[in-house]
Amino acid sequence: MGKDKYAFKRKIVFVLIQLLIPFIIIFLVELSLRLIHSGDNLSLFQKSNHYKGYYEINRSVGKRYFTKLPATSSINDLFLIEKPDSCYRIFILGGSSAQGFPYQSGVSFGRILNYRLQDAFPDKLIEVVNLAMVATNSYTQADFIDEVLKKKPDAILIYAGHNEYYGALGVGSVENGGNVRWMKILNLRLVHLRTYQLLQRIISKS
């Protein structure tokens, strides 16, 4: 009886090891790709290399949504890493209209809002960070929201709705991602993995 119990435990351990081997291999591949800097960091924000003490918008973040067409990007607005008490921080989400297309970023409604609020509240530091991107829709906005909330916004403005059909991951988009919503959301979770990005590149070239 004791031998049977010991054999059963060994069998369980053997099965668990077999199940873990694929995950260990994926982990090692992922680690190796990161060590050799293969693939992209697709986080929404990153510390600015040119302005110490500031975050900037990651210029590669659009690659989360575009694999067949060139990825679009946001205006590169900066904001402080350490938010002071006197700061009022606003994030803007949306598509090309919210970004300011077809005008230059200096006259987008986000910049005008920043100027007006700074004039109205000179004792406050006003930060308006425009995250709007051309040809994106609510999939992008929903994907951004958790990262935005971590940066302590005082307000979030959403001006969107124009791109729900043709925007990236919309049903009429070249960047469709399939018609099953949960698969698109799963793709947006996995795309941060360098292993997954490598598979995307291999598939796109085949």
Can you give the three-state secondary structure of the chain, one letter per residue?
CHHHHHHHHHHHHHHHHHHHHHHHHHHHHHHHHHHCCCCCCCCCEEECCCCCCEEEECCCHHHHCCCCCCCCCCCCCEEECCCCCCEEEEEEEECHHHHCCCCCHHHCHHHHHHHHHHHHCCCCEEEEEECCCCCCCHHHHHHHHHHHHCCCCCEEEEECCCCCCCCCCCCCCCCCCCCCHHHHHHHHHHCCCHHHHHHHHHHHHC
What pLDDT, on the 0 to 100 scale, is given for residue 158? Answer: 96
Report the distance separating Cα 146 and Cα 187, nearest Å: 16
Cβ atoms of 72 and 134 within 8 Å: the answer is yes
Question: Residue 61 domain-assigned?
Answer: yes
Sign of CA dihedral 101, 96, 199, 40: positive
Note whether residue 138 is domain-resident: yes
Total domains present in the chain: 1
14 belongs to a structural domain: no
Query: Would you say residue 11 lies in a domain?
Result: no
Q: CB of 138 within 8 A of CB of 95?
A: no
Q: The pTM is what?
A: 0.87
- The mean pLDDT of 64-73, rounded to a whole number, is 90
Residue 158 maps to a domain: yes
Give the mean model confidence (pLDDT) for residues 105-130.
92
In a domain, 5, yes or no: no
Listed residue (143, 138, 132) closest to 95, CA to CA = 132
80 lies in a domain? yes
pLDDT, one tens digit per residue, over 32-51 is 999 999 999 999 999 999 99
Asked whether residue 85 is assigned to any structural domain, the reply reads yes
pLDDT band at 1 (very low <50, low <70, confident <90, very high): low
Q: Shortest CA distance to 162 belongs to which of 109, 101, 107, 81?
A: 101
Beta bridge partners of 129: 91
Domain interval for residue 187 = 39-205
pLDDT at 97 over 80: yes
What's the rounded Cα separation, in Å, for the pair 17 and 152? 43
